A = this chain, B = another copy of it.
Amino acid sequence: MKPLIKVTGVPRSSLADWGEFAFIEALKKRLPPLSGGLRLGPGDDASWWLPDDAGGILTTADMLVAGVHFDLHYTTAASLGYKALAVNLSDLAAMGGKSGATAYLSLALPPTLEKRWLESFLDGFLGLAGTQRVQLAGGDTVRGRELVIAVTLNGQPAGCSPICRQGAMVGDDLYLSGWLGDSYLGLKLLQGRLAETAGREREAAYLRERHLCPQPRVSLGEKLGASGVVSAMLDVSDGLVADLGHLLVAAGGLGAQLEAERLPLSPAAGFFLHSGLVDYPRLLSGGEDYELLFTAPPAQRQAVAAASAAAGTAVTRIGRITAAAGVVFCHQGLKTALSGFGGYDHFRA
């Protein structure tokens, strides 16, 4: 669409000096040759992709806004480009998607944005795309007062159908990939709300990195999708208990029992927990882990372990699904009913 107003008075070396078409040309020059059924990439009215016949199309869309989803004071351009793609890849992984997706990147950009910043943003986005067999196939670039990033991914299920968030059954095991709470701790360190401990700089650096550059569990999602043994799955973005709540509601109102001793904590998170600098409720409600939370019947423990080994991603059995609604947290012999961990509402105060 043709915009209504024009911009004046912006510095050189900025996007305004570069221009929209030069930016798009520079972007297109960085793309590898089309492959994997993508017949037409950016530059026409639409892309054209010939997916495998079987399985259908999985599509996920996410929008990130400066000052809401990220703070440009401590988020580098490269980590933001990486994360904009990573959070969408995490959604595809959570459906049991297979590797080989097409991405659509729409950007609202302030004209004062530095060229260098944009190049670093693309470094992050295209770097992750390259390692995860994602092709940037289209999008839009427009002017905005604030930075807004909208990414859509088209992918395909690894199995004959995707893994939905509904489908958990009473007695199913409950699993979590990777590590719990690293991203929450990293965010608090970045915000200065949690102080670094002398001698623990390496742990702090690890946690900040886990917040800024979460690892989407693409390979694990693919192996679990192909295994056919997972009854329900989603990725943990709102916090473990909030997302577990979504899974339990989707299952028709079931419950779950979580074992504190089983929760997978990284050495860094373990240090903060055992030092009393953070408690379980915060780790259980902190967002943006981008780990996979899923259920499977106890008879399938070997198949889950095989998928974990094939993907090279740790998977921990953290509890089980119960008939009684609600989440019960078992810690040192005590059982606590968890509540008040509802997902963040974007608009409510």
Closest to A348 in B: B19
- Residue A143, interface by CB 8 Å: yes
Number of copies: 2
Contact indicator B111/A347 (Cβ below 8 Å): yes
Interface size class for chain A? 35 or more
- Residue A182, interface by CB 8 Å: no
Q: Using Cβ atoms and an 8 Å threshold, which residues of chain B touch A21?
A: 343, 345
Q: Give the contacts of A274-293 with B (CB-CB under 8 A).
A: 287-288
**Contact residue among B47, B56, B235, B349 (Cβ-Cβ distance under 8 Å from A50):** B56
Contact indicator A45/B146 (Cβ below 8 Å): no
Per-position binary interface string of chain A over residues 145-188, scored 1 when its CB falls under 8 Å from any chain B CB and 0 otherwise: 11010101111010001101100000000000000000000010
- Residue A26, interface by CB 8 Å: no
Looking at the assembled complex, report how far the CB atom of A224 sits from the nearest CB atom of chain B, in whole angstroms: 13
Contact indicator A46/B58 (Cβ below 8 Å): yes
Q: Give the contacts of A1-36 with B (CB-CB under 8 A).
A: 1-10, 15-21, 23
Looking at the assembled complex, report how far the CB atom of A238 sits from the nearest CB atom of chain B, in whole angstroms: 6
Given A95-B45, A239-B2: A59 and B346 interface contact (C-beta under 8 Å): no
- Residue A68, interface by CB 8 Å: yes
- Taken together as a complex, chains A and B put the C-alpha atoms of A169 and B111 apart, in Å, by 38
List the 10 closest A-B pairs by CB distance, nearest first.
A2-B287, A150-B150, A46-B60, A50-B56, A63-B106, A152-B152, A45-B91, A45-B94, A61-B104, A46-B58
Show 18 A/B contacts (Cβ-Cβ < 8 Å), sorted by A: A1-B288, A2-B239, A9-B349, A19-B345, A19-B347, A20-B345, A44-B165, A44-B234, A45-B92, A45-B95, A46-B97, A48-B56, A48-B162, A50-B56, A51-B57, A60-B138, A140-B150, A146-B146
